[in-house]
């Protein structure tokens, strides 16, 4: 009998730099793939017309992640268009999303992040909360988010 368990997980790397390019924060966090994210994946696998993941957002809430969440609890600024989406050649079971929040974007006490398939409304794939990252108005924050599908 074949016993296969699929696991979907995410990890994001947060790099915060000051106006001179000096690294202020560089750390890695994990995330929760929410129910709407799982539904999105199944819909795409069955050919349902859904837009691809295209935006990322930062927020200020420390409310714990929950499967039923559909948006960030307290967004800072607006959702940003992703800088890139890629599937690493060596590992076809991962997708990497990158977004840079420039000076003036999403400033304040950042405690949450999410991935979405539109600038407003839409489906949220993943959400995470983390210890505060204080993004000043002249700081730049790059989030590199890797979603991995594995069979165990």
Taking residues 102-131, report their average pLDDT: 94
DSSP 8-state secondary structure symbol assigned to residue 51: P
pLDDT of residue 131: 96
- Report whether 10 contacts 128 (CB < 8 A): yes
pLDDT of residue 32: 81
Taking residues 111-140, report their average pLDDT: 95
pLDDT of residue 17: 98
CA distance 144 to 53: 14
Taking residues 37-42, report their average pLDDT: 84
Specify the pTM.
0.90
Q: Picking from 31-40, 108-117, 120-129, which range would have the lowest pLDDT averaged per residue?
A: 31-40
CA distance 128 to 14: 12
Q: How far is CA 12 from CA 49, 62, 121, in A?
A: 27, 17, 23
Taking residues 66-88, report their average pLDDT: 93
When the pLDDT of each residue in the chain is averaged and rounded to a whole number, the result is 91
Percent of the chain with pLDDT over 70: 97
């Amino acid at each position: 009998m074949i016993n296969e368990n699929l696991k979907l997980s995410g990890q994001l790397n947060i790099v915060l730099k000051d106006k001179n390019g000096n690294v202020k924060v560089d750390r890695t966090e994990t995330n929760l793939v929410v129910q709407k994210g799982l539904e999105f994946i199944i819909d795409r696998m069955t050919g349902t017309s859904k837009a691809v993941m295209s935006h990322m957002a930062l927020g200020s809430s420390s409310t714990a992640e929950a499967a039923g969440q559909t948006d960030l609890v307290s967004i800072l600024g607006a959702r940003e268009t992703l800088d890139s989406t890629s599937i690493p050649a060596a590992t076809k079971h991962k997708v990497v999303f990158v977004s840079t929040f420039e000076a003036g974007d999403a400033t304040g006490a950042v405690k949450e992040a999410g991935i979405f398939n539109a600038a407003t409304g839409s489906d949220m794939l993943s959400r995470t909360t983390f210890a505060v990252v204080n993004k000043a108005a002249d700081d730049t924050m790059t989030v590199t988010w890797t979603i991995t599908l594995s069979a165990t």
